[in-house]
Structure 1
C-alpha cells in the first residue's frame, strides 16, 4: 500500500537530520499507515495517539530512504487483568519524488473470510 503526501523541501537530499526535522510534522498524515493493524498483537490493542517518533532516516540510493520509527500501543482487558503498554520499532521505505514523499507501507490488515476463498 502506498501513500503520497506533498513535501516541499529545499534542502540537500543527503542532509538526513534536516530531512527528519521536516518529516516529523507530517507524521499525523501517516499515522494510520505507520501503525497498521494491531490485531496481530491483540484484538484489544489500541494505538496511543501522537506517539509516533522518527528514530532515524537512512539514505539508500537516489531519492530513496528508509525511516526507522517507534510508536506506543496499549492493551487493556479488565476481565483478564491486563493493562500493558508497549513500544514497538518499525521501518518503512519511502522516496522523495517531484515534491512528494511516497511511502511504501506493508499491508498488515487481518484477512477476511472472503480473502481466504
Structure 2
C-alpha cells in the first residue's frame, strides 16, 4: 500500500524557503538543512512532510500541483502568512462562491488557504 510521504516544492533559496515553511506550518527540519534538498516535518511526527528541492525551473503561474492549507480563520492566517513573506496572488479565475485565496510563498510557489470555518 502506498501513502503520500512528502510534497516537494522547488525553491531557489533553500534557507529562506525553509524558514518560511517552518514558520508557516509550525514544522521543523527533519535533519540538518541541506543545500540541495531538505525535508520539513510536523514536530510530533504526525502528518505529511513538505520537502524543499533546489530547482532552476521557473515558477508556474497556474501550477498543476499545489498545497491547500485549511484554516478556521482564513483572514487571520492570510495576514500571518503575508507577514512571514508570502504574497497574495492577483488570481483572475476565482469562482463566484470561492472559499479559497491564492498566495505565493517567498519563492513564488502558489498555494491556497481554504476557508474551513
Please state which band the TM-score falls in when normalised by the shorter chain. under 0.3
- Indicate the structure whose relative CO is greater, using CA pairs within 8 Å and at least 6 residues apart: 1
Max radius of gyration: which structure?
1
The normalised TM-score by structure 1 is: 0.26
The normalised TM-score by structure 2 is: 0.26
Give the structure with the larger strand fraction.
1
